């Protein structure tokens, strides 16, 4: 019987051999005293093995909530996962109990955050904190875990790792702390998915370049998948393979990184790229082409396209319902009535 | 060109509390012997990584910090020599916009009274005049004056930053220091605020010092740029010259490190600068940048290079240019 279960699972995994994680029709809401905030709405995404998927958007777009849904870090209440599945290696993570999900966290699915000082424990040595991750998931002795820790710190290019394992977090610089966090995320015999939530936002730009390069190299060396959460289109351009642009809980555009930057199609994506002063078109310009208005209050958004009030191409139909997917090219999709031509009189 | 501000050999040091009895207190040289001028009507961008002293410099210029040595001349008079009354008059002409629009506005005051305060403090205008001015300035920064009865928390981040700018405008200043004024904002809002600052510059001919860590923002808004590293100026030039013709290895590293908004060719990018920014308490010997510099020579380890003019208005502190 065990054998049957094994082979049926193996069969299922063969069919989607390349897909490591898929989220299907995920909706997450927060029930606050002011009303229901629909933070993520009917979101689908897939990450293949060895691929970096970037979720990009401004504050409140639901990118972090999406990431937190994967390893069940959404606080419930007030949060509630209204619908959907998170399939990781053939299992729906939303069906797992606390113990089962805990065994995946830090082992097969790891997370690094924006501010490494607040995610490392200030009263324990770096080495002990990383070794703990090994020991929590696998039956190994402290000495062996420490040896592995030194190797990991070498892997993330922390100089003199034998000495550094005895340091406390405050003794490391910001960039080194983020390296230590990445080492901790890799503390597994077989890291599967790394969720990086704004991993370089708190770092200086020369340090950011180092960390982005490190994540890229590691991804290639150990065939790990990365879900990168960021607000910075520059970071996306440097690291992502695929990109999902989110706005107010909705997916607006999805494409591989080259098509997205070459042919941004959603008015929001275009506006976002035009808002960047580093955009090449501004070499001699005196003003930026800004998106007018502000992000709407999530409490008040109904079924309309949430970008409608800021969109230069808004039509009546945009106020009535959210558009269906329009496929522009292989793997490049957009959700917009203006692009698909419907609603034009 | 008329000089509005002259900074000569300015030093701002902070002494840290020593952690052991009898040990020598450590000194942070936040601003370490800087000299530069700001001309009337220009936008001087100051860019650098954390700990380079850019914010301390901005605060010292407004006398919000002490200075250790050197001179700061605003229209020819040393601001640290002024008596309280003259300083107060001077402060009308110099204003500051801060980074965090959440903590720089008093949460208990309505927008109307936040904006009235600068004029009340300086005893300018009657109540009606102040009211009229508030309406005018709120329109100017793109906020409907009917909202002046609202509290700061009822506005979004971008609107709050507009209120911060409005407050700086209430006294018709000549000179505004923007300290990371757009870095807390979402990119779509950041673009709006940058445009607003430029509109105001065109209309009122303000002089700005624009302090930021974001090179793209500084490059866009400034007419002249000053690059700082550990309390020192490493390079300064007119914007076009600095962008097209920068010389210092650190300036080059900053431009290289900045992520391009184009994924093409990302795998063949120039080498990444290694190492961390050293502590300003114990800066390295010689040129502060030498431990990270890909082109460091023996001389760089021994002596700090002087800031030398390499072409009109373009100054570099680097031994490579000898």
A13 pLDDT band, cuts 50/70/90, is: very low
* B96: nearest Cα among B59, B123, B66: B59
* A185: nearest Cα among A236, A244, A124, A137: A137
Is A59 in Cβ contact with B192 (below 8 Å)?
A: no
Which of A205, A237, A286 shows the shortest C-beta gap to B198? A286
pLDDT, position A163: 86
Share of chain B above pLDDT 90, in %: 52
B101 pLDDT band, cuts 50/70/90, is: confident
Is B259 in Cβ contact with A209 (below 8 Å)?
A: yes
Residue A87 predicted with pLDDT over 60: yes
In angstroms, the separation between the Cα of residue B28 and the nearest Cα of chain A is: 17
* Distance (Å) of CA B16 to CA A219, B10, B54, B262, B283: 42, 20, 19, 44, 15
**ipTM for the predicted complex:** 0.80
Which of A207, A210, A231 shows the shortest C-beta gap to B187? A231
Residue A139: other Cβ atoms inside 10 A: 5
Average pLDDT for B12-31: 82
* B250: nearest Cα among B232, B231, B227: B227
Interface test with B, best of A278, A284, A295, A297 (most B CBs within 10 A): A278
Query: Tokens at residue A334, please?
Result: 């957009």
pLDDT, position A3: 47
For residues A288 and B195, is the Cβ–Cβ distance under 8 A?
yes
* A294: nearest Cα among B290, B76, B189: B189
Q: 């100017």: which residue's tokens? A: B140
Is A59 in Cβ contact with B188 (below 8 Å)?
A: no
Helix (H, G, I), strand (E, B) or coil at B145: helix
In angstroms, the separation between the Cα of residue B73 and the nearest Cα of chain A is: 30
> Taking all residues of chain B, what is their mean pLDDT, rounded to a whole number?
89
Is A278 in Cβ contact with B216 (below 8 Å)?
A: yes
Cα A192 to chain centroid, rounded: 14
pLDDT, position B267: 72
B208 pLDDT band, cuts 50/70/90, is: very high
Residue A230 predicted with pLDDT over 70: yes
Dist CA B12 CA B62 (whole Å): 13
Instruction: Give me the helix-helix angle, A267-274 and B187-204, nearest 10°.
Output: 50
pLDDT, position A8: 47
Is B216 in Cβ contact with A237 (below 8 Å)?
A: no
A23 pLDDT band, cuts 50/70/90, is: very high
* B295: nearest Cα among B247, B223, B234: B247
Chain B residue closest in CA terms to A259:
B263
Which of A276, A287, A294 shows the shortest C-beta gap to B158? A294
Which of A58, A205, A288 shows the shortest C-beta gap to B257? A205
Share of chain A above pLDDT 70, in %: 94
Is B262 in Cβ contact with A237 (below 8 Å)?
A: yes
Residue A160 predicted with pLDDT over 90: no
Is B191 in Cβ contact with A289 (below 8 Å)?
A: yes
Which of B256, B264, B276 shows the shortest C-beta gap to A175? B276
A16 pLDDT band, cuts 50/70/90, is: low
* Distance (Å) of CA A339 to CA A249, A290, A336: 20, 20, 5
Q: With respect to CATH, is domain B3-93+211-258+269-321 assigned 3.40.50.300?
A: yes
Chain A residue closest in CA terms to B196:
A287
Chain A residue closest in CA terms to B155:
A294
Chain A residue closest in CA terms to B52:
A204
Question: Looking at beta carbons, which residues of chain A come within 8 Å of B293?
Answer: none
- Give me the long-range contacts of B23-30 (CB less than 8 A, separation at least 24): B26/B281, B26/B282, B27/B281, B28/B280, B28/B281, B29/B231, B29/B280, B29/B283, B30/B56, B30/B57, B30/B231, B30/B280
Q: What is the pLDDT of residues B106-131, one digit of tens each?
A: 999 999 999 999 999 988 889 999 99
Is B217 in Cβ contact with A205 (below 8 Å)?
A: no
DSSP state of B115: H
Interface test with A, best of B51, B181, B191 (most A CBs within 10 A): B191
Dist CA B215 CA A16 (whole Å): 43
pLDDT, position A86: 93
Residues of B with CB under 8 A from a CB of A: 49-50, 156-159, 186-192, 194-195, 198, 213-217, 219-221, 253-254, 256-264, 266, 272-274, 276-277
Lowest mean pLDDT among A10-14, A224-228, A306-310: A10-14
DSSP state of B259: P
pLDDT, position A10: 46
Query: Tokens at residue A238, please?
Result: 């440097």
Which of A58, A236, A290 shows the shortest C-beta gap to B195? A290
Is B257 in Cβ contact with A209 (below 8 Å)?
A: yes
Q: 């000898």: which residue's tokens? A: B322
> A304: burial class by Cβ within 10 Å (0-12, 13-18, 19+)?
middle
Chain B residue closest in CA terms to A175:
B276
Residue A77 predicted with pLDDT over 90: no
Which of B49, B214, B266 shows the shortest C-beta gap to A237? B266
Is A233 in Cβ contact with B261 (below 8 Å)?
A: yes
Is B50 in Cβ contact with A237 (below 8 Å)?
A: no
Average pLDDT for A102-130: 87
Question: Looking at beta carbons, which residues of chain A come within 8 Å of B159?
Answer: 294
Domain boundaries, chain B: 3-93+211-258+269-321
pLDDT, position B270: 63
Q: 């650190």: which residue's tokens? A: B250
Question: Looking at beta carbons, which residues of chain A come within 8 Å of B157?
Answer: 59
Is A240 in Cβ contact with B258 (below 8 Å)?
A: no
Question: Looking at beta carbons, which residues of chain A come within 8 Å of B242?
Answer: none
Q: 């991993």: which residue's tokens? A: A199
Q: What is the pLDDT of residues A180-195, one digit of tens each?
A: 888 888 888 788 899 9
Instruction: Give me the helix-helix angle, B127-140 and B157-169, nearest 10°.
Output: 130
Question: Looking at beta carbons, which residues of chain A come within 8 Å of B271?
Answer: none
Cα B55 to chain centroid, rounded: 6
Q: What is the pLDDT of residues A165-221, one digit of tens each?
A: 899 988 888 888 888 888 888 888 788 899 999 888 877 888 888 888 888 888 888
């Amino acid at each position: 019987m065990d054998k049957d279960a094994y082979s049926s699972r193996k069969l299922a995994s063969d069919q989607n051999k390349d897909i490591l994680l898929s989220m299907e029709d995920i909706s997450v809401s927060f029930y606050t005293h002011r009303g229901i905030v629909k933070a993520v709405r009917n979101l689908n995404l897939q990450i293949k093995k060895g691929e970096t998927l970037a979720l990009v958007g401004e504050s409140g777009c639901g990118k972090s909530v999406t990431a937190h849904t994967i390893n069940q870090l959404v606080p419930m209440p007030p949060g509630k996962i209204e619908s959907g599945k998170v399939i990781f290696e053939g299992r729906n993570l939303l069906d797992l109990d606390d113990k089962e999900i805990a065994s995946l966290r830090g082992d097969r699915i790891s997370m690094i955050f924006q501010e490494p000082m607040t995610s490392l424990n200030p009263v324990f040595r770096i080495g002990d904190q990383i070794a703990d991750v090994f020991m929590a998931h696998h039956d190994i002795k402290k000495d062996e875990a420490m040896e592995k820790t030194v190797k990991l710190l070498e892997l993330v290019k922390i100089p003199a790792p034998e000495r550094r394992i005895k340091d406390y977090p405050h003794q490391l610089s910001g960039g080194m702390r983020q390296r230590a966090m990445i080492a901790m995320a890799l503390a597994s015999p077989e890291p599967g998915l790394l969720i990086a939530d704004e991993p370089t936002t708190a770092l200086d730009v020369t340090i950011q370049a180092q960390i982005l390069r490190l994540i890229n190299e590691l991804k290639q060396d150990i065939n790990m998948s990365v879900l990168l959460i960021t607000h910075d289109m520059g970071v996306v351009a440097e690291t992502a393979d695929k990109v999902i642009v989110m706005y107010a809980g909705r997916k607006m555009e999805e494409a591989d990184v080259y098509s997205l930057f070459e042919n941004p199609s959603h008015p929001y994506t275009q506006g976002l790229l035009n808002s960047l002063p580093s955009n090449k078109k501004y070499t001699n310009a005196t003003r930026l082409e800004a998106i007018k208005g502000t992000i709407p209050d999530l409490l008040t958004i109904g079924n309309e396209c949430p970008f409608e009030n800021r969109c230069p191409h808004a039509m009546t139909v945009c106020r009535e319902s959210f558009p269906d997917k329009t496929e522009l090219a292989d793997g490049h999709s957009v959700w917009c009535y203006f692009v698909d031509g419907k609603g034009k009189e | 060109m008329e000089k509005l501000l002259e900074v000569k050999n300015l030093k701002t040091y902070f002494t840290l509390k020593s952690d052991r009895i009898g040990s020598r207190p450590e000194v942070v040289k936040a601003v370490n012997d800087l000299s530069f001028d700001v001309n009337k009507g220009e936008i001087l961008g100051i860019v650098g990584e954390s700990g380079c002293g850019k914010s301390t410099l901005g605060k010292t210029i407004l006398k919000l910090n002490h200075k250790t040595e050197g001179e700061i001349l605003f229209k020819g008079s040393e601001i640290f020599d002024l008596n309280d009354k003259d300083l107060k008059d001077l402060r009308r002409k110099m204003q500051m916009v801060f980074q965090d629009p959440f903590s720089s506005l008093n949460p208990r005051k309505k927008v109307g009274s936040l904006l009235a305060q600068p004029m009340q403090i300086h005893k300018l205008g009657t109540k009606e005049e102040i009211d009229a001015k508030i309406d005018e300035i709120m329109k100017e920064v793109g906020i409907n004056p009917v909202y002046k009865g609202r509290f700061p928390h009822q506005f979004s981040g971008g609107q709050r930053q507009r209120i911060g700018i409005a407050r700086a405008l209430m006294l018709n200043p000549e000179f505004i220091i923007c300290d990371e004024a757009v870095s807390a904002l979402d990119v779509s809002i950041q673009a709006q605020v940058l445009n607003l600052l430029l509109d105001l510059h065109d209309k009122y001919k303000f002089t700005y010092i624009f302090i930021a860590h974001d090179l793209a923002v500084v490059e866009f808004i400034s007419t002249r740029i000053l690059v700082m590293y550990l309390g020192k100026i490493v390079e300064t030039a007119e914007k076009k010259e600095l962008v097209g013709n920068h010389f210092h290895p650190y300036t080059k590293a900053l431009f290289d490190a900045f992520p391009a908004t184009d994924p093409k060719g990302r795998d063949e990018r120039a080498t990444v600068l290694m190492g961390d920014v050293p502590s300003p308490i114990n800066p390295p010997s010689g040129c502060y940048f030498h431990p990270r510099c890909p082109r460091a020579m023996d001389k760089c380890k021994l002596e700090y290079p002087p800031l030398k003019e390499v072409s009109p208005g373009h100054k570099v502190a680097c031994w490579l240019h000898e």
